[in-house]
Amino acid sequence: MTEAELELVAVEQQVADLFAAGKIPAPVHLSGGNEKILITMFRYSIDIQNDWVLSTHRWHYHYLLKGGTRESLINHLLTKPHESMVMQDRDLK
């Protein structure tokens, strides 16, 4: 695995651990196994600066690859559990 893939997997593991510990009281859908294709898609198909990224219920990798931070993702899941399946961040450019 590449460093980028390992970082995505580490974030998903942190989310899974927080959910298992009862810290995220709402459902979360993890994206394990599709790291390589998403990294390739974001690298070659998406204009990171100008394109909007819309996703379904498995949004963690999309958010991170668009430029969101691990800290903001985790904070969102911990403080807005009713929004565990969605994330809007209009500040990502």
* DSSP summary character for residue 21: T
Q: Is the pLDDT of residue 53 over 90?
A: no
What percentage of the chain exceeds 90 in pLDDT?
45
pLDDT tens, position by position, 29-48: 898 888 998 899 888 888 87
pTM, to two decimals: 0.86
Distance (Å, rounded) from C-alpha 71 to C-alpha 85? 17
Distance (Å, rounded) from C-alpha 6 to C-alpha 53? 22
